[in-house]
Amino acid sequence: MNIRHFLIIGLFSISSTFAAFAQKKTYLQTLEEPNQWVDSVFKRLSKRQKIAQMFFVRANTNFSKAYQDSVGKVIRRQRIGGLVFFQGGPGRQAILTNKYQTLAKVPLLVTSDGEWGLGMRLDSTISYPYQMALGAVQNKDLIYKMGLEVAKDYKRIGMHMNLAPDVDVNNNPKNPVINFRSFGENKYNVATKAAAYMNGMQDGGLLVSIKHFPGHGDTDVDSHYDLPQLKFTKERLDSLELYPFKELIKGGAAGVMIAHMNIPSLDNTPNMPSTLSKPIVTGLLKEELGFKGIVISDAMEMKGVVKNFKDGEADVMGIIAGNDILELSENSARAIKLVRNAVREDRISMDQIDQSVKKILTAKYWAGLNVKKSIDENNVFAEVNRPESVALVQQLAESAMTLLTGKENIKQLNPEKRTIIISIGAPQVTLFQRELGAFYKNAVFYTLDKNATANYIAKVLREIKAFDQIIIGIHDTRTRPGNGIVLSDDLKMFIKDMSLSNAVFALFANPYNLAALPGLEKSQGLVVAYQKEDFMQKAAASVIKNQVIATGKLPVTVNSFFKYGDGL
Q: Give CA–CA dist 28/19, Å, rounded.
A: 19
Helices assigned H by DSSP within 204-312: 234-239, 243-250, 278, 303-306
Other Cβ atoms within 10 Å of 26 Cβ, number: 16
Helix (H) or strand (E) holding 341: helix 332-344
Q: Give CA–CA dist 340/52, Å, rounded.
A: 10
Helix (H) or strand (E) holding 446: strand 443-448
Homologous superfamily (CATH) of 401-544 is: Glycoside hydrolase family 3 C-terminal domain (3.40.50.1700)
Do 210 and 155 contact (CB within 8 A), yes or no? no
SS in 3 state form for 486-533? Answer: CCCHHHHHHHHHHHCCCEEEEEECCHHHHHHCCCHHHCCEEEECCCCC
pTM of the model: 0.94
Burial of 326 (0-12, 13-18, 19+ CB in 10 A): buried
Q: What Å distances lie between residue 334 and 246, 345, 357, CA to CA?
A: 35, 16, 19
Do 312 and 331 contact (CB within 8 A), yes or no? yes
Do 396 and 539 contact (CB within 8 A), yes or no? no
Q: Give CA–CA dist 190/134, Å, rounded.
A: 10
Q: Give CA–CA dist 57/45, Å, rounded.
A: 19
The yes/no answer on whether domain 26-387 falls in CATH 3.20.20.300 is yes
Do 261 and 267 contact (CB within 8 A), yes or no? no
Rg of the chain in Å (alpha carbons)? 25
Domains 26-387 and 401-544 share a fold: no
- In order along its 568 residues, the chain shows pLDDT tens digits of 444 443 333 443 444 444 444 458 999 999 999 999 999 999 999 999 999 999 999 999 999 999 999 999 999 999 999 999 999 999 999 999 999 999 999 999 999 999 999 999 999 999 999 999 999 999 999 999 999 999 999 999 999 999 999 999 999 998 888 999 999 999 999 999 999 999 999 999 999 999 999 999 888 888 898 898 999 999 999 999 999 999 999 999 999 999 999 999 999 999 999 999 999 999 999 999 999 999 999 999 998 899 899 999 999 999 999 999 999 999 999 999 999 999 999 999 999 999 999 999 999 999 999 999 999 999 999 999 999 999 999 999 999 999 999 999 999 999 999 999 999 999 999 999 999 999 999 999 999 999 999 999 999 999 999 999 999 999 999 999 999 999 999 999 999 999 999 999 999 999 999 999 999 999 999 999 999 999 999 999 999 999 999 999 999 999 999 999 999 9
SS in 3 state form for 31-72? Answer: HCCCCHHHHHHHHHCCHHHHHHCCEEEEECCCCCHHHHHHHH
Angle between helices 90-103 and 65-78 (to 10 degrees): 30
The β-bridge partners of 508 are 475
Q: Give CA–CA dist 409/395, Å, rounded.
A: 24
Q: Give CA–CA dist 478/58, Å, rounded.
A: 26
Q: Give CA–CA dist 17/485, Å, rounded.
A: 44
- Residue 258, classed as helix, strand or coil, is strand
- Residue 444, classed as helix, strand or coil, is strand
Q: Give CA–CA dist 367/81, Å, rounded.
A: 14
Q: Angle 339-342-343 (CA atoms, 0-180°, nearest 5)?
A: 90
| Boundaries of every domain in the chain | 26-387, 401-544
Cis upstream peptide for 555 (omega within 30°): no
Q: Give CA–CA dist 503/485, Å, rounded.
A: 20
Q: Give CA–CA dist 109/543, Å, rounded.
A: 43
